[in-house]
C-alpha cells in the first residue's frame, strides 16, 4: 500500500520540513503520495510534484482548509486514510495538532517525532527530553507518524514528476474558527533549517544586547538566531526563537551558544548539532559538557571580537 | 461550568534520567516524581478561571499507579475541588488515556477540559488532541492565552513562526503551553485542606477501557555520547578551529 505524507506549507510555497518527511517515508516504502491541503494552494502542489520520490500529489483546495485547522484536516486525513498503510506529517505545530486527532478518529495509536526508521513497524524516537532513545514497535494496521525533520536529510526539491490529482473532499467540523494570527517577521534563515544558529541566553541581560551582540554575528555568518527559554521568558526576544524541548528542535552544522548555561530542556533542542560552540564565563556550566569548543570568556567582549574576526 | 483537568505523575524535570542496564526502560526507582510541569499550568489556568467566576467546579483526574494520588492531592492544594484516580499499573498510552478522559468528561458534563501540551517523560503531545477527536469537539492546542466569552472560548496558540488565535465552541479541549501562566505554590493550610477533599478511586475497567496498546517500547537506550570537546583560550583560536579543524565557517 502507498504511504501518505502531509505537506507543510503556507498556501504559497512548500516548507522544507516536507522534504525531510518524504525522505523518512521513502525509508518505509516506495509509493509516496503527498497531500497538499489549503486554499489557493495549486502552486504548492506543483512544487510537491517535483520533489524526488513522490508518485502522486493530492490537492485539496478549499476555503475550509485555508488555515489548516486541526479539526478539518484531521477529518480529511481520516477520510482518505483507507488507501494508505502509513501516514506521515512533519512534527511542526500543524502536524502535532492534527495527527493525533486523525489517529484517534481512526482508533489507532500514534508515534510522535520519530528520528529513525528501522523497518515499517519499528521506529526510534527520543523520550525524556532527548535523554533516552526508545525503539517502538507498532502493530497497528495504519501507522500514524510525525517526523522530526532534523533527523532526516531532505529529498531533492527538483527532479520528480508526479501527477497532481485534485480531490474535492470538503470536511468542515464546525467546532473551530480562525480569528487571526501574528507572525514574527524575519529576513534571516528559518531557525529549524538554518545551517548556522547563533543563540543567546539570560546572560545577554536585555533585548538591546541581543540586537547589539547576537545580530551582527548572525548577519556575518548568515545564521538564524535562537534563544534559551530564560531569554524568551525575560522578554528579550520573541518566543518562536526558543530552542529546546518545548520550543524548536534544531540540528545545524554550527550552533553557537552565548551566555546559555545549558539546562537539559535546552540541550534537548540542539545537542544533535554537528559542531557546538559555547561562549560562557562559567567553565562548569552544563553547556561545556556538550560543546566541541568552549571559550571561557565574557560574551560582551568575546562576541564583538568574534564578529570582527570572521 | 465545570472544568476537568488531567494531571500525570512524571519524573521531576530536574532529575537526570538514567537508562536501566537491561535497556528495558528508564530507571524510576527512588527518583523524585512530580506533576508534569505543563499539567501544573493547566491546573493553574482552571483555578484562575474559577477565581474569575467563569467556572464553578474543578475536577482533577490522574491515570496511573496508586502513588499518583500524591499528584492529585497537589492539584487539590492548588485549588481543584475534587479528584479522580484511575488506578492502573499498565503503561498509560495516549489513546487509552483519552478514552478514559472522554468517559469522565461526558459523565461529568464538563465544558472546559484542560491538559498539558505534552508529558515530559514520553514527550508524545497527543492526549489532548485525541480526546478532542473522540468527543468530536474543538481543540486549542499549545495555548498561551485563554478567554471564555459566553459559549465560546478564544484560544491564542503558539505556532511555528508566531501566534494564532482560534475561537472554539464549548465544550472544548485546551492544552497548555509554558507561557500560559505561572503556577502558584501550594500554601501549607491548603495542603492540609486538600487532604480532606474528595478523591474517588476507579479503574480503567469502570470505563470499559482496555489499557493494552498496539504500540510497545521494545528498547530504551541512552543517547549517543558526544565526543569530549576542548577549551579554546582565545577568540583567535576559536576562529582558527572553526575554519581549519571543523570547517564550518
pLDDT on residue B194? 98
Give the closest of B137, B158, B167 to A177, CB-based: B167
Q: Which residue of B has its CA nearest to A239?
A: B162
- Do residue A178 and residue B232 have CB atoms under 8 angstroms apart? no
Q: What is the distance between the alpha carbons of residues A219 and A303, in angstroms, rounded to a whole number?
A: 13
B18 φψ region: left (φ > 0), alpha (ψ -120 to 50), beta (else): beta
The C-alpha cell at A12 is 504559497
- Do residue B163 and residue A181 have CB atoms under 8 angstroms apart? yes
Predicted confidence band of residue B227 (pLDDT cuts 50, 70, 90): confident
Q: Which residues contact B139 (CB under 8 A, 6 or more apart)?
A: A70, A71, A97, A101, A176, B128, B129, B132, B133, B168, B172, B173, B174, B175
Locus of grid cell 526510534: A124
CA distance B89 to chain A (A): 19
- Taking contacts as CB-CB distances below 8 angstroms, the residues of chain B near A102 are 133
DSSP code of residue B29: T
Give the closest of B120, B124, B229 to A293, CB-based: B229
pLDDT on residue A217? 97
Beta strands B2-6 and B112-116, pairing class = parallel
pLDDT tens, A37-77? Answer: 999 999 999 999 999 999 999 999 999 999 999 999 999 99
Strand partners, B57: B2
- Do residue B248 and residue A254 have CB atoms under 8 angstroms apart? yes
Question: Is A168 at the interface with chain B, CB within 8 A?
Answer: no
Distances (CA, A) of A162 to A36, A45, A52, B197: 13, 10, 9, 62
Locus of grid cell 502507498: A2
Q: Which candidate in B40, B98, B242 is best for mutational testing of the A interface (most A CBs within 10 A)?
A: B242
Averaged in consecutive runs of 10 residues, what is the pLDDT profile of chain A (310 residues)?
97 96 97 98 98 98 98 98 98 97 98 98 96 97 96 95 96 96 86 94 97 96 96 92 92 97 94 96 95 97 96
Question: Is B162 at the interface with chain A, CB within 8 A?
Answer: yes
pLDDT tens, B113-143? Answer: 999 999 999 999 999 999 999 999 999 999 9
Locus of grid cell 519524573: B11
For residue B249, pLDDT beyond 90:
no
Question: Is B149 at the interface with chain A, CB within 8 A?
Answer: no
- Do residue A182 and residue B248 have CB atoms under 8 angstroms apart? no
- Do residue A97 and residue B162 have CB atoms under 8 angstroms apart? no
Q: How large is the average pLDDT for residues B45-58?
A: 98
pLDDT on residue A4? 98
Give the closest of A130, A275, A293 to B223, CB-based: A130
Strand B162-169's sheet: what is its strand order?
Answer: A176-183, B162-169, B152-159, B138-149, B172-176, B112-116, B2-6, B57-64, B82-87, B199-202
Question: Is A185 at the interface with chain B, CB within 8 A?
Answer: no
- Do residue A100 and residue B127 have CB atoms under 8 angstroms apart? yes
Distances (CA, A) of A15 to A140, B191, B196, B220: 29, 49, 53, 32
Give the closest of A93, A100, A180 to B142, CB-based: A93
Closest of A219, A202, A198, A205 to residue A275, by C-alpha: A198
Question: What are the backbone dihedrals phi and psi of residue A250, each rounded to the nearest 5 degrees, phi first?
Answer: -125, 155
Q: What is the distance between the alpha carbons of residues B161 and B234, in angstroms, rounded to a whole number?
A: 36
The C-alpha cell at A27 is 525509508
- Taking contacts as CB-CB distances below 8 angstroms, the residues of chain B near A135 are 217-221
Residues 2-61 of A with CB under 8 A from B: none
- Taking contacts as CB-CB distances below 8 angstroms, the residues of chain A near B131 are 104
Q: What is the distance between the alpha carbons of residues A54 and A33, in angstroms, rounded to a whole number?
A: 6
Give the closest of A105, A113, A183 to B161, CB-based: A183
Give the closest of B26, B132, B169 to A128, CB-based: B26
Q: Taking the model in full, what pTM does it have?
A: 0.94
Q: How large is the average pLDDT for residues B74-101?
A: 97
- Do residue A109 and residue B95 have CB atoms under 8 angstroms apart? yes
Chain-centroid distance of CA A250 in Å reads 8
pLDDT tens, A131-143? Answer: 999 999 999 999 9
- Do residue B125 and residue A122 have CB atoms under 8 angstroms apart? no
Residues 53-92 of B with CB under 8 A from A: none
* pLDDT over 70, % of chain B: 100
For residue B82, pLDDT beyond 90:
yes
pLDDT on residue B115? 98
pLDDT on residue B18? 94
- Taking contacts as CB-CB distances below 8 angstroms, the residues of chain B near A238 are 162
pLDDT on residue A190? 87
Q: What is the distance between the alpha carbons of residues B101 and B106, in angstroms, rounded to a whole number?
A: 8
Amino acid at each position: 500500500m502507498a504511504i501518505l505524507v502531509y505537506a507543510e506549507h503556507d498556501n504559497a510555497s512548500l516548507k522544507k520540513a516536507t522534504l525531510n518527511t518524504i525522505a523518512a517515508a521513502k525509508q518505509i516504502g516506495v509509493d509516496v503520495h503527498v497531500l497538499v491541503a489549503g486554499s489557493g494552494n495549486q502552486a504548492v502542489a506543483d512544487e510537491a510534484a517535483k520533489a524526488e520520490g513522490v508518485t502522486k500529489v493530492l490537492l485539496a483546495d478549499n476555503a475550509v482548509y485555508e488555515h489548516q485547522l486541526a479539526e478539518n484536516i484531521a477529518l480529511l486525513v481520516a477520510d482518505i486514510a483507507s488507501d494508505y498503510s502509513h501516514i506521515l506529517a512533519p512534527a511542526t505545530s500543524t502536524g502535532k495538532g492534527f495527527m493525533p486527532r486523525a489517529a484517534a478518529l481512526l482508533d489507532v495509536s500514534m508515534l510522535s517525532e520519530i528520528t529513525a526508521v528501522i523497518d515499517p513497524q519499528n521506529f526510534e524516537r527520543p523520550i525524556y527530553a532527548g535523554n533516552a532513545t526508545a525503539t517502538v514497535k507498532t502493530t497497528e494496521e495504519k501507522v500514524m507518524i510525525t517526523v522530526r525533520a532534523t533527523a532526516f536529510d531532505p529529498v531533492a526539491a527538483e527532479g520528480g514528476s508526479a501527477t497532481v490529482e485534485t480531490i474535492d473532499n470538503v470536511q468542515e467540523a464546525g467546532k473551530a474558527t480562525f480569528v487571526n494570527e501574528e507572525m514574527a517577521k524575519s529576513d534571516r534563515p528559518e531557525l529549524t533549517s538554518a545551517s548556522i544558529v547563533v543563540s543567546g541566553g539570560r546572560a545577554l541581560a536585555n533585548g538591546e544586547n541581543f540586537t547589539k551582540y547576537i545580530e551582527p554575528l548572525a548577519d556575518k555568518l548568515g545564521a538564524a538566531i535562537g534563544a534559551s527559554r530564560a531569554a524568551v521568558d525575560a522578554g528579550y526576544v520573541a518566543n518562536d526563537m526558543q530552542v529546546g524541548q518545548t520550543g524548536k528542535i534544531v540540528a545545524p552544522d554550527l550552533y553557537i551558544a552565548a551566555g546559555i548555561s545549558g539546562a537539559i530542556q535546552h540541550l534537548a533542542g540542539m545537542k544533535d548539532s554537528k559542531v557546538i560552540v559555547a561562549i560562557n564565563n562559567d567553565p562548569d556550566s552544563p553547556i561545556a559538557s556538550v560543546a566541541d569548543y568552549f571559550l571561557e570568556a565574557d560574551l560582551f567582549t568575546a562576541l564583538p571580537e568574534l564578529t570582527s574576526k570572521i | 461550568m465545570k472544568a476537568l483537568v488531567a494531571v500525570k505523575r512524571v519524573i521531576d524535570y530536574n532529575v537526570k534520567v538514567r537508562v536501566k542496564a537491561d535497556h528495558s526502560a528508564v530507571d524510576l526507582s527512588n527518583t523524585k516524581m512530580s506533576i508534569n510541569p505543563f499539567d501544573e499550568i493547566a491546573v493553574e489556568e482552571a483555578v484562575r478561571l474559577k477565581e474569575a467566576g467563569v467556572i464553578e467546579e474543578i475536577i482533577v483526574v490522574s491515570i496511573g499507579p496508586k502513588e499518583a494520588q500524591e499528584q492529585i492531592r497537589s492539584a487539590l492544594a492548588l485549588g481543584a475541588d475534587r479528584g479522580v484516580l484511575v488506578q492502573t499499573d499498565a503503561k498509560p498510552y495516549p489513546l487509552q488515556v483519552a478514552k478514559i478522559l472522554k468517559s469522565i468528561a461526558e459523565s461529568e458534563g464538563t465544558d472546559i477540559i484542560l491538559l498539558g501540551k505534552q508529558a515530559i517523560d514520553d514527550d508524545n503531545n497527543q492526549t489532548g488532541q485525541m480526546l478532542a477527536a473522540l468527543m468530536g469537539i474543538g481543540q486549542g492546542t499549545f495555548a498561551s492565552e485563554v478567554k471564555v466569552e459566553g459559549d465560546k472560548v478564544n484560544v491564542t496558540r503558539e505556532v511555528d513562526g508566531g501566534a494564532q488565535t482560534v475561537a472554539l465552541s464549548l465544550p472544548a479541549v485546551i492544552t497548555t503551553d509554558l507561557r500560559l501562566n505561572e503556577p502558584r505554590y501550594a500554601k501549607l493550610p491548603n495542603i492540609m485542606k486538600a487532604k480532606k477533599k474528595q478523591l474517588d478511586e476507579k479503574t480503567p475497567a469502570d470505563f470499559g477501557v482496555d489499557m493494552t496498546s498496539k504500540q510497545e517500547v521494545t528498547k530504551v537506550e541512552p543517547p549517543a555520547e558526544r565526543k569530549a570537546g576542548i577549551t579554546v583560550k582565545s577568540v583567535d583560536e576559536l576562529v582558527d578551529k572553526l575554519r581549519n579543524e571543523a570547517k564550518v565557517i
